[in-house]
Structure 1
């Protein structure tokens, strides 16, 4: 079916052009006027769903990263999670999604960072310094968060709420960690750092999940990643500012770049794992404090604490090989929980 406006070839049965949004058929029924919004969301998402793969292989999962995508496909991702665009569980695909927008977000952030860097390094204008710190701190954590956003198959969390979790979850978890550190005073070491920071993030993730009654494993991954992204970005910005105030301009960039490279395997992944583990335990049940003491949750939380403690341990030769190994280990567990989350969707569809 070719669009009369842009001559784009659309699949049979669509009511709107996937390229320009032109409406093919007049709707004479008494349906709500918002049906255009729903149809737009449904049909733009048709082709990506068809291309999904059952096998969790890297060349399948990331196969759409290097393909050309229309602007409407990106818009489709940002309008999910509303009353009109959240699909029923029977309509959710339990096959592996193929995320791609996260790569575009990273490239855009990289280009913006390069612009701020040019303003400081080549023109000597310090007005660009705040941009260097803010964009540099958020670029990789936010891009990683976008990956989890695209992997949230239930599509039941609005993007504005994800941003809310990044900002409020990030700052509140940092404040909680500071309180815990103040209580510990001189008993601060890699183990206590791991316990304190992961506990602070876990408290915020559980609070968000409990309040909104999110029940899917993939929801927990996304919300945890949002809190972790905020924590990681604010922490990096703080370290970068301290480097700047110490008079070591070169260390400012080293801090941002090094922490950016390893950000996907740090706070973002760790908090995502904690969130997924909690949602796996809670499910449709009402929150109970005993849930955090269940083995399914504790084994993941303890693993995250151990990885975090090893990450901060000043072992000779630990960087960068040890951090690379810990990043890979974290993401192996992430993909295992994504698989568990997709399996959970399949099981819930059978119950409908």
Structure 2
């Protein structure tokens, strides 16, 4: 299945694993972003074995050495399968609630509706984590715990602000809460790569987004407006990738870019490489919540595109970081 005249590096288990999953010759890969190639494997057939192999990475026994990590653009595909599965599950709950009028389906409708897109986006970031040094169970842990912790921290800030709540203070409060949570997970240098920060941040943001959407959906349900329930789930789902998930991911990546291999110091938070990304995230969040005529949905769509442009720029920076570290070994 593999060529026999391989170098010693190419004979490693991790290269063979990456090559088996990717099926793209190394000569055809590039560190430069080619968006048509990033999603080139989404519509191909994939076996269960390929998915199972994806889930074994990140443990003490399966984390590759830096010299074995490919510093080229990954080609994720599992996230698309997760999205389809989530849609099918949501359709089942929708039929149970809307057609059969069975209230036992409502909790599932809320949970799947609120978490489908954030989880799908999180899987994408997990597949893009080229170092493959974070196990999936850890990602889920950060999503749950980080999501609720960031919400509680935000509530503390809101309680302090009391009546001084507006789009700007909301942006500062919620992004600061997520930043504190993300940094608490990555500050000990176990996850020191830019792509690690991107993934850990996405996990915190996904948890925050899913829990918040579930809350808004429940409010719509309790008000007796079933139609508004579906509208809330639909729009928050469509816009979720460019909201909390992307913003927290950017903050995490910016912090890891500043920290690198150094121990955590508070002055890292005032370095320009971190501040400019964090302030950009706060600005986008404030604009997202601004009640300007025409902001919904076109303004949010524009902000979502802008967020993902920065995401891809930081992914490229993360891949270049890996390439530089490989040269230093």
* In structure 1, distance between residues paired with 2:48 and 2:166: 48
1:273 aligns with 2:250: yes
TM-score, structure 2 normalization: 0.94
The answer to which of 260-269 and 56-65 deviates more is 56-65
1:11 aligns with 2:2: yes
**Does the CA-based 8 Å contact 2:181-2:204 persist in structure 1?**
yes
1:203-239 Cα shifts (integer Å, max 9, x gaps) = 0100000146311000000000000000000000000
Provide structure 1 residue ranges, at least 5 long, that are not aligned to the other structure: 1-9, 14-37
Deviation at 1:59, TM superposition (A): 1.1
1:112-147 Cα shifts (integer Å, max 9, x gaps) = 000000000111101000000000000000000000
**Does the CA-based 8 Å contact 2:189-2:262 persist in structure 1?**
no
* 1:347 alignment partner in structure 2: 324
Deviation at 1:48, TM superposition (A): 3.6
RMSD of the TM alignment (CA)? 1.5
Pick the aligned partner of 1:47 from 12, 17, 20: 20
1:89 aligns with 2:62: no
* In structure 1, distance between residues paired with 2:96 and 2:17: 39
* In structure 2, distance between residues paired with 1:90 and 1:311: 41
1:170 aligns with 2:143: no
* In structure 1, distance between residues paired with 2:291 and 2:57: 43
Pick the aligned partner of 2:303 from 298, 304, 326: 326
Pick the aligned partner of 2:124 from 113, 122, 147: 147
Q: Which structure would you say has the larger Rg?
A: 1
Pick the aligned partner of 1:74 from 28, 32, 51: 51
* 1:218 alignment partner in structure 2: 195
Deviation at 1:76, TM superposition (A): 1.2
Deviation at 1:49, TM superposition (A): 4.4
TM-score, structure 1 normalization: 0.88
* 1:313 alignment partner in structure 2: 290
Deviation at 1:45, TM superposition (A): 2.8
Provide structure 2 residue ranges, at least 5 long, that are not aligned to the other structure: 5-11
1:27-80 Cα shifts (integer Å, max 9, x gaps) = xxxxxxxxxxx95x6644323445163141121100000001111111111111
**Whose relative contact order is higher, 1 or 2, with alpha carbons under 8 Å and at least 6 apart?**
2
* In structure 2, distance between residues paired with 1:141 and 1:102: 11
Helix, strand or coil: the match of 1:320? helix
**Does the CA-based 8 Å contact 1:265-1:327 persist in structure 2?**
yes
1:160 aligns with 2:137: yes
* In structure 2, distance between residues paired with 1:345 and 1:310: 34
* In structure 2, distance between residues paired with 1:334 and 1:45: 23
**Does the CA-based 8 Å contact 2:189-2:261 persist in structure 1?**
no
* In structure 1, distance between residues paired with 2:191 and 2:138: 13
**Does the CA-based 8 Å contact 2:189-2:263 persist in structure 1?**
no
